[in-house]
Structure 1
Amino acid sequence: MDLGTAIIGLICIAVCALPFVLTNNNKKKKQKELLNTLKDFAKKNGSEITQHEIGENYAIGVDTSKNTVSFLQKTKEKVSLQFVNLTTIKNCEINNISKSLGKNETTLDKLILKLSAIDKKKPSIVLEFYNSDISFQPGNEFDSIEKWNKTINSLLISKQQSKAA
């Protein structure tokens, strides 16, 4: 094989790989920005992120020592931030909200984590992991919401056990 063919082959490989490298770098940069925004928000509320996860349109983090949850949801128009003190929360559950497409057909509209307040006069807090108006198709949101439901419920159980002791 001559040198010219090898150089042309390497150039073709580089040109084909470049979009993937640029996309990956851009995604990592956006995730880092979301995490920094979430950490700054938690810090303003006297909390620190000890566990976190960054999704396509959201970021969630908990402070396990202070029993708090910080949540960020990003749309094209705005970034919404929510801070939850788990001492005011009774339970956490996953809600799949579907919409009807017609006869016997439904599709996932929203995937939310609902935090019910101890005080029944206060509204429940909704953390939206997926919204069909924002994302075309759910990705790993199902696994993510399951994980965070378990994490938050375990923090709620440990909080109740420490109160009982």
Structure 2
Amino acid sequence: MTTPHRTQLREEFLDAMSQLVSSVTIVTTDGVDGPAGATVSAMTSVSADGDAPTMLVCLHHATSAAPAILNNRCFCINVLGHNQTELANVFASRSAAPGGDKFAAGTFETMRSGAPGLTTALARFDCKLLSDERIGTHHVMIGSVVQVARLEGAPLLYGNRSYQSLA
């Protein structure tokens, strides 16, 4: 049951979180469950040390990507450039995908893990799934990085409830 205090706290929380600026990424996967992907702003590095670098990504449980990643056991974090707003909207299901296929909106190649990597992404972090924990509405997933790719450019950012750019 939602109390008025919880509702107010949630709204205050979301309003305060809108002041954070983060990179916009598309998290993709492929494997036994087939291809899936979603636009995500909740991702970060965990560590560059240990057996391999590690990344953390948070995905809403209702996305098709979350269960697909759990079953495929891999994901690729694709950091978008400032000119890739439409691609972000397609993977966020805000815009129609060409022919109903989100992956037709960009050019992808198979990364070492088997996940699709966006060839025009500013950075790609290809990961094998290490762990997953469901917290509230989201899966908090940690991946072991198996491949990295990088291009030059200005990132697409999300802050104040809209896309931003440093370009």
Whether the TM-score (by the shorter chain) exceeds 0.5 is: no
TM-score range normalised by the length of the shorter chain:
under 0.3
User: Larger RCO: Structure 1 or Structure 2 (Cα < 8 Å, ≥ 6 residues apart)?
Assistant: 2
Q: Which has the higher strand share?
A: 2
Larger radius of gyration: 1
Q: Which has the higher helix share?
A: 1
| TM-score calculated relative to the size of structure 1 | 0.24
